[in-house]
Amino acid sequence: MRFGVLGTGTVGRTLGSRLVQLGHEVCMGSRHAGGAAASEWVAQAGEAASEGTFADAAAFGEVVINATAGAHSLAALHAAGAENLRGKVLVDVANPLAHDSGFPPKLAVANDDSLAEQIQRAFPEARVVKTLNTVTADIMVEPSLLPGSHNVFVCGEEAGAKTTVVEMLGSFGWPPEAVIDLGGIEAARGPEMYVALWLRLINPLGTWHFNVAVVRPPS
Binding region for a copy of itself (CB under 8 A): 104, 106-107, 110-112, 145-148, 150, 153, 180-183, 187, 189-191, 193-194, 196-201, 203-205, 207, 209-218
Report the SS3 class of residue 179. Answer: strand
The amino acid occupying position 155 is C
Taking the complex as a whole, how short is the minimal distance between the CB of residue 142 and a copy of itself, in angstroms?
A: 11
Taking the complex as a whole, how short is the minimal distance between the CB of residue 217 and a copy of itself, in angstroms?
A: 5
* Residue 2 contacts residue 61 (beta carbons within 8 Å): yes
Closer CB to a copy of itself, residue 87 or residue 111?
111
Closer CB to a copy of itself, residue 22 or residue 201?
201
Distance CA 74, CA 215 (A): 35
User: Kind of pairing, strands 2-6 and 25-30?
Assistant: parallel
Closer CB to a copy of itself, residue 23 or residue 217?
217
Closer CB to a copy of itself, residue 4 or residue 70?
70
User: Kind of pairing, strands 179-183 and 63-66?
Assistant: unpaired
Taking the complex as a whole, how short is the minimal distance between the CB of residue 68 and a copy of itself, in angstroms?
A: 21
Closer CB to a copy of itself, residue 28 or residue 187?
187
* Residue 216 contacts residue 137 (beta carbons within 8 Å): no
Taking the complex as a whole, how short is the minimal distance between the CB of residue 89 and a copy of itself, in angstroms?
A: 21
Taking the complex as a whole, how short is the minimal distance between the CB of residue 105 and a copy of itself, in angstroms?
A: 10
Taking the complex as a whole, how short is the minimal distance between the CB of residue 196 and a copy of itself, in angstroms?
A: 4
Closer CB to a copy of itself, residue 4 or residue 191?
191
Query: Is 181 buried (19+), middle (13-18) or exposed (0-12) by CB count in 10 A?
Result: middle
Partners of 154 in the β-ladder? 131, 181
* Main-chain phi, psi angles of 139, to 5 degrees: -75, -35
* Residue 36 contacts residue 63 (beta carbons within 8 Å): no
* Residue 188 contacts residue 153 (beta carbons within 8 Å): no
Listed in sequence order, the DSSP H helices in 24-148 are 36-45, 54-60, 73-80, 82-85, 115-122, 137-141
Closer CB to a copy of itself, residue 82 or residue 109?
109
Taking the complex as a whole, how short is the minimal distance between the CB of residue 167 and a copy of itself, in angstroms?
A: 19
